[in-house]
């Protein structure tokens, strides 16, 4: 017997108003919780850099992001895509601010004058030694290297 699963899924181009010209993300709106293996399989099928999974819970949306191979703690462009999807495809009024519960922090999105404004967590950086192959990879010696839970920041001379 095949299990019946109800969900909506769409591909959204973030950072653009033109088709096929932005940063694509899949958005999957669930009507019931799904396990990690199922979400990972959907993300693999979508084969985009990230797929955002949304589960409504009392006015807040639980959001999780999966690449085709792993779950990640935060993804800005897929959150932007999720907000757009909720306002355009899921009948959430555009004047309604969105609240997301994520592994990294509470997130929010607002529609201001036709633009989506996201409130993402600030992650302080700390000085670190550059990874061994960084200078060769960049073709330049870093002046400074900083790390945060989500990023490696590199200061170059130009």
CA distance 141 to 135: 5
- The verdict on whether 50 is a catalytic residue reads yes
Q: What is the DSSP string of 50-95?
A: -EEEEEEETTEEEEEEE-SS-EES--HHHHHHHHHHHHHHS---TT
- The residue from 3, 36, 50, 95 that is catalytic is 50
Question: How far is C-alpha 72 from the chain's CA centre?
Answer: 8
Cα–Cα distance, 107 to 69 (Å, whole number): 24
Q: Which of 119, 127, 120, 118 is nearest to 148 (CA)?
A: 127
- Whether residue 46 contacts residue 52, with contact meaning beta carbons closer than 8 Å, is answered with no
Active site residues: 50
């Amino acid at each position: 017997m095949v299990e019946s699963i109800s969900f909506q899924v769409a591909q959204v181009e973030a950072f653009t108003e033109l088709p096929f010209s932005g940063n694509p993300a899949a958005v999957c709106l669930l009507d019931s919780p799904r396990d990690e293996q199922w979400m990972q399989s959907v993300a693999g099928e979508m084969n985009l850099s990230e797929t955002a999974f949304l589960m409504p819970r009392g006015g807040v949306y639980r959001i999780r992001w999966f690449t085709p191979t792993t779950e990640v703690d935060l993804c800005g462009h897929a959150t932007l895509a999720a907000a757009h999807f909720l306002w355009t495809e899921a009948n959430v009024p555009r004047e309604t601010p969105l609240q997301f519960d994520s592994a990294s922090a509470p997130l929010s999105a607002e529609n201001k004058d036709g633009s989506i404004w996201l409130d993402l967590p600030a992650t302080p950086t700390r000085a670190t030694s550059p990874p061994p192959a960084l200078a060769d990879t960049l073709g330049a010696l870093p002046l400074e290297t900083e790390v945060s839970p989500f990023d490696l920041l590199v200061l170059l001379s130009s």
